Structure 1
Amino acid sequence: MNRHAAREKAFQILFQLDMNDKEPEQAMKDHLESLEVDPFIKTLVEGVAANKQTMDSVITASLENWTIERIASVERTVLRIAVYEIRWQEDVPVNVSINEAVELANLYGDEKSGKFVNGVLAKVTT
């Protein structure tokens, strides 16, 4: 599985975790058809779940006239993944994390999601 596909699966799992009270390991097993979990999916899901408060603080510091609670679940989940990659995944270039986040936001959010995510991540990276 390539990283783009793995990132999308991780997004779907993390979105479910945001809505339901499950452990990351169980959510991955429930969501993925195969018994073998891709290492990149596991890294993203476990990393985001373990560092959610830190990432939410980073995101909150980059918001203007918004709170983390007001952000729709799609955008909040996408931002958490991107911030995790930017802060903790040294093998992923920052511009790749931002581009992938914008793509996910455009795919799963509304027509303004990509621009919103891009704007927040621009502030996170400055």
Structure 2
Amino acid sequence: MKLHTVDETESAPEIRMPPLQEAVLDEATLEQLFFDLAEAAELVSVSLKAGATARAGDLQRAGSAGGELALARRALVDGTALGVQIRYRFAGSEWWDTLLRIPSGVRLVRVRIEDALG
């Protein structure tokens, strides 16, 4: 078997990563996030992550955007879901918020899709 040795003078193509916003949310801030999304955003989809290797699935229009968000919030808070991904439109842009349960609260990772694709 022949191994390829990378010459240090070779340059790898630069991979552009989109800017991410990250925060750890306490309970009150998490509640405010869900309220803001329900009141001010146009919901595209909500997906649940059941566990490390399982996906709980998409919430299929649970009556209203507020209903989907309420189910996702409840699943995240009560531990039914390990994580939630919320895709929405706000202020002319599409955003993806990923919320993951961690020991110190809920970790939010947010990306604006135009930044990821551009």
What is the TM-score of this pair, normalised by structure 2?
A: 0.31
Which of structures 1 and 2 has the larger relative contact order (alpha carbons within 8 angstroms, sep 6+)? 2
Structure showing the higher helix proportion among its residues: 1
Structure showing the higher strand proportion among its residues: 2
Q: State the structure with more CA Rg.
A: 2
What is the TM-score of this pair, normalised by structure 1?
A: 0.29
